[in-house]
């Protein structure tokens, strides 16, 4: 992307909204070099949906003109309807929660923690999880899971008192 504003490009990349293939955008509004920026993925998706909603293009033609897959149009339309422009910003990649420390694993951790006196260390609990479930977890993850469970229990007790 020679000749591009490197600051804007870095900002778009940091917000995960940098279009990886701006050269595929062939819509005339984006190729004129004026206001529209084919590197801004949120702008590209918004304008693609707008082109269809305004009745100018069909979903397939709009997707092709904006350098995206047809399914991208449907996903963008749904995101706009449900969340507005913020819905077009890609979500953070990766798991969105603990996938190793399931409710059964945390129940096991609580039982192990309560059963022994003195209570086992978080490293010992992590080793017990590996033995029992075949899942490796970090000792700090064990600490956070137990603290979160205690906090949730405290909130339930407070709510029951009211």
Mean of pLDDT values over 75-80: 96
Can you give the pTM of this predicted structure?
A: 0.59
Q: How far is CA 73 from the centre of its chain?
A: 19
pLDDT exceeds 50 at position 2: no
Residue 57: CB partners within 8 Å, gap ≥ 6? 51, 65
pLDDT exceeds 80 at position 150: yes
Check: CB of residue 112 under 8 Å from CB of residue 133.
no
- Ordered DSSP codes for 64-82: HHTTS-HHHHHHHHHHHHH
Residue 47: CB partners within 8 Å, gap ≥ 6? 27, 29, 30, 36, 66
Place of tokens 């603990």: 98
**pLDDT digits over 100-122, tens only?**
999 999 999 999 999 988 989 99
What percentage of the chain reaches a pLDDT higher than 70? 96
**pLDDT digits over 16-44, tens only?**
999 999 999 999 999 887 789 999 999 99
Least confident of 1-10, 101-110, 111-120, 144-153: 1-10
Domain ranges of the chain: 6-88, 95-147
């Amino acid at each position: 992307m020679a000749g591009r504003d490197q600051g804007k490009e870095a900002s778009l990349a940091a917000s995960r909204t940098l279009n990886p293939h701006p050269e595929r955008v062939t819509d005339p509004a984006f190729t004129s070099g004026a206001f529209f920026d084919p590197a801004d993925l949120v702008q590209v998706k918004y304008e693609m949906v707008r082109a269809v909603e305004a009745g100018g293009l069909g979903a397939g033609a709009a997707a092709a003109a904006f350098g995206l897959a047809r399914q991208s149009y449907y996903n963008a339309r749904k995101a706009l309807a449900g969340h507005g422009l913020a819905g077009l910003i890609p979500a953070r990649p990766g798991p969105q929660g603990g996938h190793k420390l399931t409710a059964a694993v945390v129940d096991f951790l609580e039982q192990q923690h309560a059963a022994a006196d003195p209570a086992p260390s978080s490293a010992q609990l992590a080793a017990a999880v590996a033995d029992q479930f075949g899942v490796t977890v970090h000792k700090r993850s064990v600490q956070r899971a137990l603290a979160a469970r205690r906090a949730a229990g405290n909130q339930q007790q407070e709510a029951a008192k009211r």
